[in-house]
Chain A
Amino acid sequence: MHRVVILGPQRHVVTVTEELNLLGLSGRIATITAGWQEREAEDDELSVALGNRCVNLRLHARTDDVFAQDRPLFSAHRHRQDKLRQLQDIYRMRLDHLMAAASVLMARQGSPELLEPEREDTIEQLRSLDAHHLRRIRDVHEAFETQELPGERRALAQHRAEVQGILDECDAVAIAGGHVSTLIGRMRLMDVASGMTAKPILAWSAGAMVLTDRIILFHDRPPEGAGNPEVLDVGLGLAPGVVALPHATSRLKLEDEVRMALFSRRFAPADCICLDPGNRGRLDGRSWQFTDGTRCIRRDGRAVPASPEVA
């Protein structure tokens, strides 16, 4: 049985139904649509795709309820989010300069003997910055946990218990896309991960991103101009070894191999997996398998079929 399935966007090409059938499960499916924020409950289409046997965990609404009941926790949470936002701004300042240097070096023509060690060293600095940023984020999360003891707060504990109860009765978990920061934040607050590690998980778009080790934001075509891919947060680590790239074809300049090579090398040894509509990856607990058409970005910047060898 494949324990974790990551999928491309489901809006136009629905593959989750087929993947669910392949798992051979007959019981209920716990769904997480917190990434849809206020539209969390508008899950009729999803319910049909999953065979009308869903139980929406309503993590977004539950969190709102917790915050309404527990104002000190709400304030502490808001304070943490402010701190994370400031950290992200500071990280971006450093990142911009390192990325500028790395981009110039990647595009530079000349002796590979001279250039390659410089490129590798610059990329190593990027990896170091990303790792440093992740440590800072972890520290903020840990400080929140130890200072606020959220698990001991009545309103939150009650919702967490309800969520765990629902998870216990379900055969699998399905995580939809949406706002990735909201999604990981609400999943973390409700401590969902601890209740779903033993169950098959199907996740797409932002849902796939939160399962990986690191959540990487990316967009090469926003109206304000291409920015630099950035580490946003620690992922749940349930889909290890990959960087999930939903909508890769529309969001990334895949044709720019120099840019993509930097992207791929920066996040190595993880494999950068394009999750376009119809794409799928299955983790059986040990290794990944990707369906035809699913691509990964190689270290040379080329997007090539991901299966069976991804790097």
Chain B
Amino acid sequence: MIPAIHKLARQAGLDSRAIDTFLTSHRFPLIEGLQVTFVWRGVADAVHLRHWVFGLASAQRFHRLAHSDLWHLTIDLPRGSRFEYKFDVVRNGHSQWIRDPLNPNIAHDPFGANSVCQAEGYEVPDWCQHDPDARQGSLHELILNNTAFGGPRPLTVYLPARYRETRRYPLLIVHDGGDYLRYARLKTVLDNLIHRLEVAPLIVALTHPKNRMDEYPNDPHHAAYIVEQVLPFMERNYPVFGTPAQRCLMGASFGGVASLSTAWRYPGVFGKLLLQSGSFAFTDIGENKRGPAFDRVVEFVNAFRENPGRPAEKVYMSCGTYESLIYENRSMVPFLQSHGLEVRYDEARDGHNWENWRDRQQSALSWLFPGPLWFVYE
């Protein structure tokens, strides 16, 4: 297939009006089969596509269309891919990263927002969008005092719709709870999946770190906070099963490390782990090359790989194939399995971002906490 931008380039009498027509008659980025075309219009010395797709050069240079002010780039993109990007517009030696002005599709994260490219075959799951028929759970903001960190910590508790104190519920403890709520729509996801009977009604404790880069890489204070304070608090105040099989610890990226290291420090406490794009960097030989932020991570993962014990019974893992952590995550799967853990692992053509982690929730939660779908025959 010849991309539309190439047809435009060959057009006789290419002028500003022809470019206007081209831009108004297409949606961008322009998906044509397995190719995607990005365009940016304006005066610049150079334009680059900046993305976080591991395996591609992180800056892809745009081409200028003839002598016009239209810059364009066409790349191949496998079916089902989704990635986040920005444009790097260079003028007078100054570089400016901006979102794609022609793309209304934006993903937010703690650092701001990026444009989103969705390839052919990718669809935003319907279960992560507001469903007016789904009964709503509720969020409750609490404070835990005198924590292992030496001060109070906020805690958000999700109670499912039709919550009843006479019932018992599994407990899910989430790292980066605020980010999961804001950027991965966790409440909407839980409401919908519980409403659809795909996930058992859960009670969720959403924790909020002060400095995740310090607290998450195998910090004993953090592990004590989760196991000796959050968990007992939840089991004292809410009707949860209180058995390891019905407790799960969840996190993404460094939150995955925090989940695994906490469960490793306290074996037998959590029966389930939900680890998304865990930063499981390790070294077989030589030094950590990911920078000082990973020193404690590598130290932990190396120690874990040396002596894994049995941190949980069931582990759900996911990772994007466009992440630099794909190697570490893939290698963790057979490692855990070889030590007797039941593991389910999903990959997606996506990056290290919150919407990737959002999109895996149905697969993760329905496997770890299957809902009553099997029991309900209306």
Contact = CB atoms under 8 A, between A and B. Distances in A.
A205 B378 contact: yes
Interface stretch (B36-44, B277-285, B368-376): B368-376
A222 interface: yes
A219 interface: yes
B366 interface: yes
B375 A179 contact: yes
A181 B363 CA distance: 24
A223 interface: yes
A106 B166 CA distance: 45
Residue among A38, A217, A224 with max Cβ neighbours from chain B (10 Å): A224
Contacts of A225: 367
B366 A222 contact: yes
B372 A179 contact: yes
A178 B376 contact: yes
Given A38-B162, A222-B198, A223-B198, A180 B376 contact: yes
Contacts of A205: 377-378
A206 B198 CA distance: 18
Contacts of B374: 217-219, 222, 227
Contacts of B198: 222-224
Interface in A194-247: 205-206, 209, 217-219, 222-225, 227, 232, 246-247
A224 B376 contact: no
A209 B378 CA distance: 11
A281 interface: no
Contacts of A206: 376-378
Interface residues of A, number: 26
B259 interface: no
Nearest to B199: A223
Contact of A222 (B162, B370, B378): B370
A9 interface: yes
B363 A246 contact: no
A156 B370 CA distance: 32
B378 A219 contact: no
B73 to A, nearest CB: 37
A177 interface: yes
Contact of B370 (A11, A180, A224): A224
B375 A177 contact: no
Contacts of B372: 179
B54 to A, nearest CB: 28
A223 B367 CA distance: 8
B362 interface: yes
A38 B362 CA distance: 25
A139 to B, nearest CB: 22
Given A222-B370, A223-B363, A224-B363, A217 B378 contact: no
Interface string A53-80: 0000000000010010000000000000
Interface in A105-159: none
Interface string B322-340: 0000000000000000000
Given A205-B377, A206-B378, A222-B370, 19 more contacts: A9-B378, A11-B378, A35-B376, A177-B376, A178-B376, A178-B377, A178-B378, A179-B375, A181-B375, A206-B376, A209-B377, A218-B374, A219-B374, A222-B198, A223-B363, A224-B363, A224-B370, A225-B367, A227-B374
Q: Which 3 A-B pairs have the closest CB atoms?
A: A224-B366, A206-B377, A205-B377
Interface of B: 162, 166, 198, 362-363, 366-367, 370, 372-378
10 contacts: A179-B372, A179-B375, A206-B377, A222-B373, A223-B198, A223-B362, A223-B366, A224-B363, A224-B366, A225-B367
